[in-house]
Structure 1
Amino acid sequence: MYWTDDGLGYFEFLQLSEDLGARPIWVFNNGISHRDEVDTTTVSPFVQEALDGLEFARGASDSKWGSVRAAMGHPEPFDLKYVAVGNEDCWKKNYRGNYLKFYDAIKRACPDIKIISNCDGSSHFLDHPADYYDFHIYTSASHLFSMTHQFDHTSRSGPKAFVSEYAVTGKDAGTGSLLAALAEAGFLIGLEKNSDIVEMASYAPLFVNDNDRRWNPDAIVFNSSMHYGTPSYWVQKFFRESSGATLLDANLQTNSSSLVASAITWTNSVDGETYLKIKIVNFGNRHVSLEVSVDGLGLNSQLSGSTKTVLTSSNVMDENSFTNPNKVVPDPSLLENADKDMNIIIAPYSLTSLDLLTESNSIRMPQTDSSARSSI
């Protein structure tokens, strides 16, 4: 399927996930490649290989394959709870038949494992059982930004969505442009606002060796001595508090189609304080005067420590590089006019985050927590 180096494989990626404090998702061979397919009647060796792989990752250190892991220096099981049956194979002839063989065998052996189908269930119901369905999108900046409402009308019954691959590609992206990153930020705000159905999301690809580029863009670029994050990488930093946060009912009152926004409350693990985070993407070429009104959240009367962080640049096609790794990076500052009612100027082609300190232990959920009116 893809060129690979056996020096970096299943075991090493399980270790990497553990080192990062991330939970791994194993995408295994379901008997289908780009050009060939194993018939469902003869797929059982592939099913057994998947079961062996699960035992290697999760089995006791005295089990057949768990003992192999232990001999490699990792006696404790890995925290593997998600698997995907193949990758982008939904419309292949034997996919559904093969998928069901894997699904039934894995659920019998490891009923707690969550199984991800390659078939998109965002616009119609799946015709087979799954815990999650996969959603991939690589497209232009304008199209991805317009997909902020992609999951607004998706059924809330059945499997959850895993947006496992998304990115702006082609001429809009270059090797990692601000324009691409802002479109992705708008799309992510849509996922955040639909987090009851979209449980997981991951930008792709994550890493690229600058001496062996096979795909553009990528989140983190490295060579043997240096590395840098693209603007798309820095967008991810704006959403790191979203996991485990409380999504608020934020209304953006505007006639502009270039603005999207969301609001969450999150607790800072460093200072223990609770913050209201408002994120705004301006995908247009003009400044926006945004009136922000917050009601019912018990904002700290001092609003000390409130900040404004902006990701933008002088040109939408600006990129980071080894020679200038910080050309497009978040710019944090104190929010001088922080108040329950305030006016914020949103720069053209920008992602802005407002973090407002709330009163400890006094958060209430109002009908409308944040409303914004814009004049462009």
Structure 2
Amino acid sequence: MKISLYKDGSVPVFPGSTGIFIEDINYGIDGGLYAELLENRNFEAKFVHGCIGNYVVKADGAYAWDAYPADAPVAVKLKDDRPLFAENPHYLRIVTERDGCGVSNRAYDGIFLKKGDVLRLSFWVRSYDYKGGAVAGVYMGSEPVFEVRCKPHADGKWHKYSYRVKAKIACEGAQFRFILNKAGAVHIDCFSLMPENAVYGIFRRDIAELLKDLHPGFVRFPGGCVVEGNTLANRYRWKLSVGQPERRRHNWNRWAVHGAGAEGDFVSPFAHYGQTLGIGWYEYFLLCEYLGAKPLPVVSLGIACQYMSEEAVAPDDPELESYIQDALDVVEFANGGRDTVWGRVRAEMGHPEPFGLEYIGLGNEQWETKESQFYARFEIFSARMREKFPEIKIIGTVGPDVDTPRHKSAWAWTLKNLQKDEKFVYASDEHFYMPPAWMYEQTDRYSDYPRIGKVYAGEFAAHVEGKFNKLTPEANVWEGALAEAAVMTGMERNADVVIMKSYAPLLARIGRTQWSPNLIWFDATRSFGSADYYVQKMYSLLTGEASYRTATDAKGVYASATASGDLTYVKVVNATDETISADVEADFDFGEMLRIVQMQGEFSDFNSMEEPEKIVPVEVAPTSARSVQLPPRSFSVLVFRK
């Protein structure tokens, strides 16, 4: 077969076109990227249950904390009078009737540490008349991994205790404990146990390094459905996520009710899933700097998640002004000087220089209904943003799916507005979670798109029947990843239309997963990339600055080509069960084959904790200047140099 490249009609490739999308789903932030080891560290957990239009939220601040020893005469009570921080007012009162009793923290699935690991431990204690001491530490059974001692002040005031500690032994599934060595009563709040090797003191290092290795061009955050909330009160409010971490008001997570049905009294296994906002707006921008990626923050348009609610602020309601101002203030927070309100907040948090924000997402995946009045409200937001910050590029949305009546209506509306003003939106966000067969059928979908409407494929993944809903790493079989590689050749061939793309979801903690497949899986001990992760990495690292017209003459083979300087990158997917001999030709000189980067496997193969690199890219030595053997079920990048 032949793979033919044509220089005529080439189009530029958007710099950093392959990015990542971060949402706090699957315990990806709290319990994941946020390196904090303790669960419900400030006693603000909520128990959430219910269904559309009827969500019940109850304070359950003692969640994840248990009496220690299990049968000990320990009484715990959640209190909020004279709190340490008014924004998060709950704290725990512990009363013990005998010496050596206290509380333990479940720490998600238990604490994992290597011998010699260094951590930062802190907590607050208030005592009125307790005369004894206290011990805090991590333990494997009765053996301390580390422990510290303190003497609470019996003066009725809150006091902070901070320590730098080192693990004396390795542990897995270990328990954190706070113990009073004498019978008595104290108040406790705001615990933290943070590995010292956390990136910027915030991000779990192994996960952050996996993200950095992707070399993403941009980061879309913080959602997703989290932006909208299951109710407007539950939406992500970025202004509550900045400033001192202890003062960031805890919010229940929209995914806490995912999967809740009548058969379980509308209670999900994740009913306590919350957002501590330890990673807040500022930290997301820091993450972008660490990754060398451009930030793409997304803000609410005053519509709750349309799958879960009909709640919306009407476009003519004066209340909508606060939502518009929140969107405008994002730019001021990111780019404003110290002489601005929100620029000063950023500077006081430790970043006097602007973050250099270029993009903002207005809404997540809304669509037009009588209740949402999405078109009217978006036009208001877009006009106000362009009026105050004409340099900011707006990312819009055309709904939660593709090729449906609402999707077609959204595109017609978008194009109509673009004809009036080319800056109405910079690009429109499309989402598709579809079977592999659909991905192959759609490799040419963007060839027919109008060239005035740019696309950001902001959420996509191949969902393999019988695998995608397993909520385990097996959801990420090679069958799906290969189909994604194929549909992305179509995105690359149409780089003048599809300017940005990001897989979704990004992160999943094993055993605490609401959605699959996912790009990166992890537990308390380690993390690994799925086959899909490596497909995204190959697109991120092995893509040029110009995209050539590309054609193949074999069924089941999909290709695209880009070039930078003297290098040409030809991506080829062989989705057949046969080895195919391919010759690469072009109407220009592109040199000889320098290297081959290749992934291949059985459709059922997947990476796991046991085999984290079962299917990864490998280097294959070329045997010909312009010919190659394409293994069955393979994705290859052929690199030529002239």
Q: TM-score normalized by structure 2?
A: 0.51
Residue 21 of structure 1, aligned match among 289, 292, 315: 292
Residue 77 of structure 1, aligned match among 337, 354, 363: 354
Amino acid at match of 1:146: E
Instruction: Give SS of 1:16's match.
Output: helix
Structure 1 position 220 matched with structure 2 position 520: yes
Instruction: Give SS of 1:186's match.
Output: helix
**What residue number does 2:638 align with?**
354
> Which whole-Å CA distance do the structure 2 matches of 1:98 and 1:242 have between them?
40
Instruction: Give SS of 2:316's match.
Output: helix
Structure 1 position 167 matched with structure 2 position 461: yes
Cα offset, 1:180, TM superposition: 0.6
Task: Judge which range, 51-60 or 122-131, deviates more.
Answer: 122-131
> Which whole-Å CA distance do the structure 2 matches of 1:77 and 1:278 have between them?
38
Residue 207 of structure 1, aligned match among 507, 512, 518: 507
> Which whole-Å CA distance do the structure 2 matches of 1:85 and 1:252 have between them?
39
Cα offset, 1:276, TM superposition: 1.9
Task: Judge which range, 106-115 or 2-11, deviates more.
Answer: 2-11
**What residue number does 1:193 align with?**
493
Cα offset, 1:79, TM superposition: 2.1
**What residue number does 1:279 align with?**
571
> Which whole-Å CA distance do the structure 2 matches of 1:63 and 1:206 have between them?
34
Instruction: Give SS of 1:41's match.
Output: coil
Cα offset, 1:239, TM superposition: 1.2
Residues 209 and 223, structure 1, Cα contact 8 Å, conserved in 2: yes
Where do residues 322-361 of structure 1 align in structure 2 (5 Å cutoff)?
Answer: 322-337=609-624, 339-340=625-626, 342=627, 344-358=628-642
Where do residues 63-212 of structure 1 align in structure 2 (5 Å cutoff)?
Answer: 63-92=340-369, 93-119=372-398, 124=412, 126=414, 127-128=416-417, 129-157=424-452, 159-171=453-465, 173=468, 174-212=474-512
Task: Judge which range, 1-10 or 177-186, deviates more.
Answer: 1-10
Cα offset, 1:225, TM superposition: 2.9
How many residues in Structure 1 have an aligned counterpart in Structure 2?
341
Amino acid at match of 1:323: E
Cα offset, 1:330, TM superposition: 0.7
Instruction: Give SS of 1:205's match.
Output: coil
> Which whole-Å CA distance do the structure 2 matches of 1:49 and 1:238 have between them?
37
Superimposed CA distance per residue, residues 312-357 of structure 1 (whole angstroms, 9 cap, x where no aligned partner): 11x20211012211101011122122x24x3x22111110121122
> Which whole-Å CA distance do the structure 2 matches of 1:30 and 1:151 have between them?
28
Structure 2 unaligned regions, length at least 5 = 1-228, 230-253, 256-273, 399-406, 418-423, 469-473
> Which whole-Å CA distance do the structure 2 matches of 1:9 and 1:175 have between them?
29
**What residue number does 1:264 align with?**
562
Superimposed CA distance per residue, residues 149-173 of structure 1 (whole angstroms, 9 cap, x where no aligned partner): 111111112x311111110125354
> Which whole-Å CA distance do the structure 2 matches of 1:298 and 1:164 have between them?
32
Amino acid at match of 1:24: P
Where do residues 286-325 of structure 1 align in structure 2 (5 Å cutoff)?
Answer: 286-294=578-586, 296-297=588-589, 299=591, 306-313=594-601, 315-325=602-612
**What residue number does 1:373 align with?**
none
- Cα distance change of structure 1 residues 264 and 162 upon mapping to structure 2, 3 Å threshold: same
Residues 123 and 154, structure 1, Cα contact 8 Å, conserved in 2: no
> Which whole-Å CA distance do the structure 2 matches of 1:335 and 1:241 have between them?
19
- Cα distance change of structure 1 residues 334 and 133 upon mapping to structure 2, 3 Å threshold: same
- Structure (1 or 2) with the larger CA radius of gyration: 2
Residues 544 and 563, structure 2, Cα contact 8 Å, conserved in 1: no
Residue 8 of structure 1, aligned match among 234, 258, 279: 279
**What residue number does 1:38 align with?**
313
Instruction: Give SS of 1:309's match.
Output: strand
Residues 38 and 94, structure 1, Cα contact 8 Å, conserved in 2: no
> Which whole-Å CA distance do the structure 1 matches of 2:568 and 2:464 have between them?
36
Instruction: Give SS of 2:503's match.
Output: coil
Superimposed CA distance per residue, residues 115-157 of structure 1 (whole angstroms, 9 cap, x where no aligned partner): 1221257964624332211111101011112111111111112
Instruction: Give SS of 2:325's match.
Output: helix
- Cα distance change of structure 1 residues 288 and 188 upon mapping to structure 2, 3 Å threshold: same
Structure 1 position 247 matched with structure 2 position 547: yes
Amino acid at match of 2:302: G
> Which whole-Å CA distance do the structure 2 matches of 1:263 and 1:76 have between them?
38
Amino acid at match of 2:431: H
> Which whole-Å CA distance do the structure 2 matches of 1:232 and 1:293 have between them?
29
**What residue number does 2:532 align with?**
232
Greater strand share, structure number: 2
Amino acid at match of 1:311: M
- Cα distance change of structure 1 residues 124 and 285 upon mapping to structure 2, 3 Å threshold: farther
Cα offset, 1:9, TM superposition: 2.2
> Which whole-Å CA distance do the structure 1 matches of 2:477 and 2:297 have between them?
30
Residues 136 and 164, structure 1, Cα contact 8 Å, conserved in 2: yes
**What residue number does 1:374 align with?**
none
- Cα distance change of structure 1 residues 203 and 155 upon mapping to structure 2, 3 Å threshold: same
> Which whole-Å CA distance do the structure 2 matches of 1:201 and 1:167 have between them?
11
Identity, in percent, stands at: 29
- Cα distance change of structure 1 residues 123 and 186 upon mapping to structure 2, 3 Å threshold: farther
Residues 544 and 562, structure 2, Cα contact 8 Å, conserved in 1: no
Amino acid at match of 2:457: V
Cα offset, 1:265, TM superposition: 1.8
Cα offset, 1:46, TM superposition: 0.7
Amino acid at match of 1:132: A
Instruction: Give SS of 1:24's match.
Output: strand
- Cα distance change of structure 1 residues 243 and 293 upon mapping to structure 2, 3 Å threshold: closer
Structure 1 unaligned regions, length at least 5 = 268-273, 359-376
Instruction: Give SS of 1:49's match.
Output: helix
Residues 597 and 620, structure 2, Cα contact 8 Å, conserved in 1: yes
Residues 596 and 622, structure 2, Cα contact 8 Å, conserved in 1: yes
- Cα distance change of structure 1 residues 57 and 298 upon mapping to structure 2, 3 Å threshold: closer
> Which whole-Å CA distance do the structure 1 matches of 2:411 and 2:324 have between them?
29
